[in-house]
Structure 1
């Protein structure tokens, strides 16, 4: 459908934004459901159709959305087969949560909480205590991780309940702040290759009568950012991770359930002025803005004190055809960040929150040169970004 002309803006109604299914079918609901099936205190089965298993493994593939698996049956024959009910598995999509970005999603997975509670509501957000932008993936500038995110992880709850709990990932991730506050509990096992991770995850599953194991692979996302999801490099990674998933599934010990999921999907953004609106070169968008946070498809905009209303008006006038543009309180009331917002999290959310509806991003070529040069991007609430797989295999 053709978009209205820029000279005649028709702002997208906020109630058309497909809000994540917090509490019934989001990433934050997965681990609590699995843990509840193993009688872990403090957890609730929010996805009731998942049958409890004694041994549960979550394989998270960074950047591989539901829509991307559907679109590539030849490159991912095993994963594609799990979209239905063949091979003894079942598949359905979950919603990642907003924004659909790695730091936010991994915190949702590990804590079982939506972003408004765990407090990582974006790629970069303002720290209300210092006024500086905090990169929650790289954890810069440094802040105490357990003050920033004080809740226990589901892994910690499971470990305390006597469940054999392990994370199998790249060795470099073991001591990162994001791992400490989102994915810690039990034992961390570092392995360099995907094959070694799959083999070790299967071994860890078999190590307890009740087990909860998490494993992770990142390079589908990496190739998508650098080359795009329409590239041979990305397709090669998809083919590789398809073989990894099958390798793990074929080693499941008895009484096990494997759940293959992701933290977000991705779309490719053309390199033209209409698709990449440069905040650093746009005097209208930058007027009255003290800090620009988030990322190209999910922006947190922090206004100069007193300019909040004007910034909201301008962002709606300039971007309202192609972005959902909300004030902080409107985004919260609409449930973008979950049903409850912790007091400590409120000021981390932008005075204005802008989520892209079309194949358009707000880049910042000078202040964010690396991110602005990416081909594949994510963050918003479109199906391509928001829907992630929940593919189940049982033994």
Structure 2
């Protein structure tokens, strides 16, 4: 069975709608009426929310709940915040999760259902970089970001990140409606946020930190380099919170956690020569592979064979079984075709490659994408006007509270 739960990203999807709702309450606006203009977005229980002037969602790429707990001594500001573990989306990868965070929709609805997925005309493309040639981007990323709702209630929506992320396909897809304010260094981004919040106007802000994720991919999350970036983020967060106006609520969360995979834990898919002969293309990423089969191949039979070969260290499912499991949320047919005929999701601490992969990708240490507790768990930490409030319970109870809790069959050996 694919390891589905009652969360699978539903709480991640509810963070920004809940933050906008709390700002709406502060402005004397009915939050339910505002969010009902975005069908499918979770509606939080307004009775549990505080009324605030401004809301800041800080997204620290790659800061899993387990990663933070293991290194909390290096992050005293984060460690003292009230927090709980929630779960990210499936696959547990950046493009899918960031899109859920800014649209309030799960991957089966928004369409960026993995790292390397199939476009009907362009073939396999990555959701982070390969946007050239995608003319109808609203059909590719199918959900509207929620920043327009923030503006409609009278708040100023802003996105704060590195200058390199100010433009590009993914930025356009997930940050449309927000004013982009650049800050090269982490301290620059927090300084931009501090200045905005001291101005007195209602603000809904998305602040993105990607340095930890980059360090994890290159060195591993257990490396000294990763710890140094954690300490730097924590120090800037601490300074930011010390000067935070009293009517501002802050959430700190992440898109996924990280596991370290060494060279000896790399598995070559084409080492199974007879099985790989049925594979036309390999999508996904090393811990969540999508196998697109040759014409005429029997996906059920291929999945059974892969389960016999790799079922002790991976979850194996056909596309239909993966969709039926509910792990992606409700999936429309055009989005389903973006994932492989057979899915291989790492169960053990391994990563799946083929000899056709870029050799540089085999140098990656920190990885994510699959369903392990460490990859799937992310923090929901509260600060400012949200600390001690019912915000976390409002997120947990948002309607629909279990967008993807359905159980379904997958391929076991």
Q: What TM-score comes out, normalization by structure 2 length?
A: 0.84
Q: Is the 8 A contact 1:297 1:362 kept in 2?
A: yes
Are residues 1:305 and 2:295 paired? yes
1:358 shift after superposition: 1.1
Q: Is the 8 A contact 1:258 1:393 kept in 2?
A: yes
User: How many Å separate the matches in 1 of 2:8 and 2:50?
Assistant: 20
For 2:397, the equivalent position in structure 1 comes to: none
Which digits, 9 at most, give the CA deviation of each residue in 1:124-147, with x for residues without a partner?
A: 0111x2261011111255313222
Please state whether the residue corresponding to 1:165 is helix, strand or coil.
Answer: strand
- Runs of 5+ in structure 1 lacking a partner? 1-12, 83-89
For 1:76, the equivalent position in structure 2 comes to: 75
For 1:178, the equivalent position in structure 2 comes to: 170
Higher helix share: 2
For 1:266, the equivalent position in structure 2 comes to: 258
- Runs of 5+ in structure 2 lacking a partner? 25-30, 386-413
Are residues 1:31 and 2:22 paired? no
Which digits, 9 at most, give the CA deviation of each residue in 1:351-386, with x for residues without a partner?
A: 112211110111234323222220111011111101
For 1:41, the equivalent position in structure 2 comes to: 35
User: How many Å separate the matches in 2 of 1:260 and 1:23?
Assistant: 16
After superposition, the CA RMSD in angstroms is 1.9
User: How many Å separate the matches in 2 of 1:23 and 1:388?
Assistant: 10
Are residues 1:355 and 2:345 paired? yes
For 2:400, the equivalent position in structure 1 comes to: none
For 1:296, the equivalent position in structure 2 comes to: 286
| Within-5 A mapping of 1:95-134 | 95-127=87-119, 129-130=120-121, 132-134=123-125
Which digits, 9 at most, give the CA deviation of each residue in 1:29-64, with x for residues without a partner?
A: 211121223233335434775545321101111111
For 1:153, the equivalent position in structure 2 comes to: 145
For 1:257, the equivalent position in structure 2 comes to: 249
1:294 shift after superposition: 0.5
Are residues 1:242 and 2:234 paired? yes
1:242 shift after superposition: 1.1
In structure 2, the CA distance between the partners of 1:283 and 1:316, relative to structure 1 (3 Å rule), is: same
Q: Is the 8 A contact 2:62 2:257 kept in 1?
A: yes
Please state whether the residue corresponding to 1:362 is helix, strand or coil.
Answer: strand
Are residues 1:213 and 2:205 paired? yes
1:390 shift after superposition: 0.8
1:21 shift after superposition: 0.8
Which digits, 9 at most, give the CA deviation of each residue in 1:227-274, with x for residues without a partner?
A: 1112111111111111122122122223111111111110111211xx
Q: Is the 8 A contact 1:166 1:187 kept in 2?
A: yes
User: How many Å separate the matches in 2 of 1:310 and 1:52?
Assistant: 55
Q: Is the 8 A contact 2:259 2:368 kept in 1?
A: yes
Q: Is the 8 A contact 2:131 2:170 kept in 1?
A: no
Structure 1 range deviating more: 191-200 or 365-374: 365-374
- Matched residue count: 369
